[in-house]
Amino acid sequence: MRKSASNGIVQNGHKLMRQPVCTSKIEQSPCAENTLNPIRRLVDQLVINPNPDKNLLRLSIGDPSVFGNFNPPPQVLKAVSDNLATTCYGYVPAHGLVSTREAIAKYYNTRSSPLTSSDIYVTSGCSDALRIVMDCLGSEKRNILLPRPGFSLYETVAGNRGIPIKFYDLDPENDWEINLNQLDSLIDENTAAILVTNPSNPCGSAFSVQHQLDILAVAEKHGLPIIADEIYKDMVFEGESKSFGELSENVPVLSCGGLAKRWLVPGWRVGWIIVHDRHNRLSEVRGGLTRLCQVIIGSNVLIQGAVPQILETVPQSFYDDTLKRLKNASEIVYSELKDCPQIRPFKPKGAMYMMVQIKIEEFEDITDDMVFVEKLITEQSVFPLPANIFGIPNYVRLVLTVPEDILREACQRIVEFCQHHSVRVPRKKAKLTAS
C-alpha cells in the first residue's frame, strides 16, 4: 500500500478515496426492537451474587437435560444413529418428511379425531410451531388471547409480529383453571384465537376434561379456533391426559407439540403442529401454515427422520418412569415447604414445574418476588425464577427435574431463608439491642 499523489491511497493497484469516517448509529428495525423475551428482560435486571460459601443450586432452567438425571432412553439415541446411516442429506418438504408426518398422525390419531399426514406440519421445536401458528392467525388487527401466568414466548412472538394480546387469568385457588367469564368477556370481533397451555408451564397444572370442554364451549360460542400448546401432553401424574383436538367436535384446534419434554431432548429442535378441523374451516389456514414452513425449511432432517422409530420403539415404561420421578420430586418439594408459614407451595398435576406463593405480609424486608429471589441467591445460593416473568407477581417457579438431594437441600435453604426474614423474628431489633 502506498500514498498516491492525490487525496487517497493506492491498494493492489486500485485507487481508494479517503472518506470521512461515518460514526452515526445504524438503526435496528421495529421488528427487532419489539422482540422482547420477558425472561431475559427480568433476569438481566436481577442482581445475581451467590453466597461464595454455598454452591449455587439452580431451580430456574426448564431444561430436563441440565443435571444429567433425566436422559432420553436408548431407543431415542438408536433411532438417530440408525437414521444417520440412511438419512438423505438434502432438503425435504418444508413441512416435514412424509414418513415423519405419517408417524405423528398415527401416534396422535384418535377415533374422535382421525388424523392423516396432511394434518401434520413438522417444525423446528414447539417454539417454531407456536410462532408459525400465531403468525398464521394473528395480525396487527387480529388479537390473540393468552394465559396469565403463561409461557413468555407467546408475548415475544406477538411483540415481534405486532399482534395485539389480551390476557385471561388462571386462578391459583381453583387448580389454575381459566376464569371463563373473564375469557368470554375479553373476546371481541377482532379476536383471532384463544391460546391455551395444558399441562402448564409455569403452573404445573393440568385441566380436567370438563374444564377443557368448558373452554371449547367458549371458543365455539364465538366461532374461534384454539391454539393448544401441548408440549407437555401426556405428562400428567394421575388420571387421563386428553388433547383439545380429541375433545373438540366443532372447534378447530391447532395443537403444538414436540420431542423436547416428553422425550427429554430439548436441544434436538423437532416440533410439530397437529391440525384438528372436522368441518374444514381451516383450509386457507393450512395453506398459510405450509407457506410459513417454507420460510426456513424448518426441522433438521436427521432428527425428524428418526421420529417414526422413536414413536414406535420407546417403551411405555420409560414414560411411566419419567412421570413417577417427576411426581416424586413434586412430593418431596411439597412436603419440605408446606409447613413454612411464609410461603405456600401448589401441588403440581403435570409438566415439570411447581409454583410457590410468597406471602409478602409474612416477611419483614421482602417486597416482591424479584427481591425474594435476589436475596435468596445472595444469602443461600438458591435460584428459582421469579414468576413476574410469567405475568404473576409474588410467586416463584421451581423446576422439578433436579436431583433429589439438590431439591431437598434447596428446600431446606429456602425454609431457613424464610425463617430468617420472617416478620415473626424481631431480627433488626435484636441486632440494634446487641449493638
Q: Rounded to the nearest whole angstrom, what is the least distance from the CB of residue 257 to ligand PLP in the complex? A: 8
Tell me whether residue 113 or residue 255 sits nearer to ligand PLP (CB atom): 255
Q: Rounded to the nearest whole angstrom, what is the least distance from the CB of residue 238 to ligand PLP in the complex? A: 20
Q: Are 197 and 227 in contact (CB under 8 A)?
A: no
Question: 100, 121, 157, 164: which is closest to 308 by C-alpha?
Answer: 100
Restricted to residues 11-50, the positions that interact with ligand PLP (CB under 6 A) are none
Residue nearest to ligand PLP (CB): 125
Binding span for ligand PLP by CB under 6 A among 121-129, 167-175, 206-214, 415-423: 121-129
* Cell numbers for 271: 416440533
Report how many residues bind ligand PLP under the rule CB under 6 A. 13
Tell me whether residue 201 or residue 422 sits nearer to ligand PLP (CB atom): 201
Tell me whether residue 265 or residue 340 sits nearer to ligand PLP (CB atom): 265
Question: 25, 7, 23: which is closest to 15 by C-alpha?
Answer: 7
Tell whether residue 154 is a contact of ligand PLP (CB under 6 A): no
* Residue in 72, 149, 225, 258 binding ligand PLP, rule: CB under 6 A: 258
Q: How far is the C-alpha of 266 from the C-alpha of 268, rounded, in Å?
A: 6
Tell whether residue 330 is a contact of ligand PLP (CB under 6 A): no
Tell me whether residue 266 or residue 305 sits nearer to ligand PLP (CB atom): 266
Q: Rounded to the nearest whole angstrom, what is the least distance from the CB of residue 46 to ligand PLP in the complex? A: 19
State the Cα torsion 297-300-305-308 to the nearest 10°: -90
For 338, phi then psi, to 5°, come to -65, -30
* Cell numbers for 99: 414418513
With cell 405480609, the residue in question is 361
Tell whether residue 127 is a contact of ligand PLP (CB under 6 A): yes
Q: How far is the C-alpha of 198 from the C-alpha of 435, rounded, in Å?
A: 54
Q: Are 8 and 17 in contact (CB under 8 A)?
A: yes
* Residue in 62, 225, 298, 345 binding ligand PLP, rule: CB under 6 A: 62
Question: 67, 70, 73, 69: which is closest to 317 by C-alpha?
Answer: 73
* Residue in 72, 125, 252, 386 binding ligand PLP, rule: CB under 6 A: 125
Q: Are 244 and 216 in contact (CB under 8 A)?
A: yes
Tell me whether residue 79 or residue 231 sits nearer to ligand PLP (CB atom): 231
For residue 149, whether the previous peptide bond is cis, meaning omega lies within 30 degrees of 0, is yes
Tell whether residue 231 is a contact of ligand PLP (CB under 6 A): yes
Q: Rounded to the nearest whole angstrom, what is the least distance from the CB of residue 78 to ligand PLP in the complex? A: 22
* Residue in 38, 138, 149, 271 binding ligand PLP, rule: CB under 6 A: 271
Tell whether residue 201 is a contact of ligand PLP (CB under 6 A): yes
Q: Rounded to the nearest whole angstrom, what is the least distance from the CB of residue 260 to ligand PLP in the complex? A: 4
Tell whether residue 390 is a contact of ligand PLP (CB under 6 A): no
Side chain identity at 158, as an amino acid letter?
A: A
CA distances from 393 to 147, 220, 338, 390 (A): 14, 32, 20, 9
Query: Going by DSSP bridges, is the β-strand pair 253-258/353-358 parallel, antiparallel, or unpaired?
Result: unpaired
Handedness of CA 173, 174, 178, 180 (dihedral sign): negative
Tell me whether residue 225 or residue 258 sits nearer to ligand PLP (CB atom): 258
Binding span for ligand PLP by CB under 6 A among 119-127, 215-223, 241-249, 310-318: 119-127
Q: Can you give the binding site for ligand PLP, defined by CB under 6 A?
A: 62, 125-127, 151, 197, 201, 229, 231, 258, 260, 266, 271
